[in-house]
């Protein structure tokens, strides 16, 4: 088994509020990354169909607002429903190239009515099989006006070559116990998905790498006022509210000692690559292993509920 893994880190803008066009753009990136013999490609939080940048500047907290209702309906229409086959073509492309992927989506989950939205991080393996869907546990601040709370069902890790990979959405990466749940499963490559902005990634990424003695890849999107589609409801108001670049990227990769493999990059679309070596993890685990010799389960232990939550259980 190869001890190295090649990561493709696309920092790109979605075709905002257009699920199908955004997923097509993902496939184009996958095809390009395959030319570089990539093993894993990662896309940011809520990449398809995009992050709800309008909420903060258009009165998103106004109760029963006709404007916010219309915007939510538009958003949910473009959300991803895995069971309807929305990710099938992307899965086929990954299978064709034997490449794994983390993809941030806005999920319209049929097991929770089919109308509420979840910020989900999907792991697809090299055969194009969806292996986990992690729904964000705690939406942040104004996100709570459009996204629902997730559960622990997606708090899992996956073997990928010599690595064990796991991922979290945005500010979930600040949650110590959530991180610990992944460490406990042997995670040594952590994927942090972000909607964008170097202010989120430049400080935390090396901290997570050094805490976990793992590689940590932060992947962010871009968003510019020019990305707001003219046909979207209240497009002009949204452009005015969000500013010229509400998401400037900041994608980066840190090594297990906290040093940069790829330093944060801001303001540009790019597709960068890095080859990581599992020996570096073993070197840093020599003096600190958070779930191994530097843990004390006889004193402190975490209990994780990984059941998918539902409003009803049916016995037929």
Residue 302 lies in a domain: no
Reduced to 3 states (helix: H, G, I; strand: E, B; else coil), residue 289 is coil
Residue 255 lies in a domain: yes
Residue 296 lies in a domain: no
Residue 292 lies in a domain: no
Q: How many CA atoms lie within 13 A of 247 on its CB side?
A: 29
Of 185, 142, 161, the C-alpha closest to 290 is: 185
How far is Cα 258 from Cα 190, in angstroms, rounded to an integer? Answer: 13
What's the mean per-residue pLDDT of the chain? 97
Residue 112 lies in a domain: yes
Residue 192 lies in a domain: yes
Residue 26 lies in a domain: yes
Residue 304 lies in a domain: no
Has residue 1 got a pLDDT over 90?
no
Give the mean model confidence (pLDDT) for residues 40-57. Answer: 97
pLDDT digits (tens, 9 = 90+) for 282-316: 999 999 999 999 999 999 999 999 999 999 889 99
| DSSP at 28 | H
- Domain range for 265 is 4-285
Question: DSSP alpha helices (H): ranges in 147-286?
Answer: 176-183, 198-201, 204-212, 235-242, 278-285
Q: Sign of the CA dihedral 49, 50, 54, 56?
A: positive
Are the C-beta atoms of residues 103 and 82 closer than 8 Å to each other? no
How far is Cα 53 from Cα 242, in angstroms, rounded to an integer? Answer: 7
Of 20, 134, 21, the C-alpha closest to 80 is: 20
Give the mean model confidence (pLDDT) for residues 76-85. Answer: 98
Q: What is the CATH number of the domain that holds 32?
A: 3.60.110.10
Residue 290 has what pLDDT?
96
Residue 76 has what pLDDT?
98
Of 291, 282, 274, the C-alpha closest to 256 is: 282
How far is Cα 255 from Cα 252, in angstroms, rounded to an integer? Answer: 10
Looking only at the bridges linking them, the beta strands covering 247-254 and 222-223 are antiparallel
Residue 2 has what pLDDT?
86
Domain total for the chain?
1
């Amino acid at each position: 088994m190869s001890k190295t893994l090649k990561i493709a880190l696309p920092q790109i803008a979605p075709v905002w509020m257009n699920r199908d066009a955004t997923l097509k753009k993902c496939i184009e990136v996958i095809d390009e990354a395959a030319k570089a013999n990539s093993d894993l490609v990662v896309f940011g939080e809520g990449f398809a169909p995009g992050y709800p940048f309008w909420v903060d500047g258009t009165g998103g907290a106004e109760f029963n607002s006709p404007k916010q209702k219309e915007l939510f309906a538009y958003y949910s229409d473009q959300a991803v429903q895995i069971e309807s086959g929305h990710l099938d073509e992307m899965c086929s492309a990954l299978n064709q190239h034997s490449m794994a992927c983390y993809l941030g989506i806005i999920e319209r989950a049929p097991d929770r009515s089919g109308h509420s939205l979840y910020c989900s991080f999907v792991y697809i393996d090299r055969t194009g099989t969806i292996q986990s869907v992690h729904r964000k546990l705690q939406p942040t601040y104004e996100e709570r006006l459009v996204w629902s709370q997730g559960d622990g069902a997606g708090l899992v890790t996956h073997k990928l070559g010599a690595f064990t990979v796991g991922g979290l959405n945005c500010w979930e990466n600040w949650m110590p116990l959530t991180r610990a749940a992944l460490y406990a499963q042997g995670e040594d490559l952590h994927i942090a998905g972000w909607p964008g902005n170097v202010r989120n990634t430049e400080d935390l990424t090396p901290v997570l790498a050094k805490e976990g003695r793992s590689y940590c890849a932060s992947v962010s999107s871009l968003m510019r006022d020019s990305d707001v589609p003219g046909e979207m409801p209240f497009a002009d108001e949204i452009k005015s509210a969000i500013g010229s670049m509400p998401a400037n990227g900041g994608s980066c990769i840190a090594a297990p000692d906290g040093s940069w493999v790829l330093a944060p990059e801001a303001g540009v679309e790019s597709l960068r690559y890095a080859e990581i070596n599992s020996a570096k993890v073993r070197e840093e685990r020599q003096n600190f292993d958070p779930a191994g010799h530097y843990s004390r389960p006889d004193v402190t232990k975490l209990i994780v509920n990984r059941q998918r939550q539902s409003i009803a259980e049916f016995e037929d």
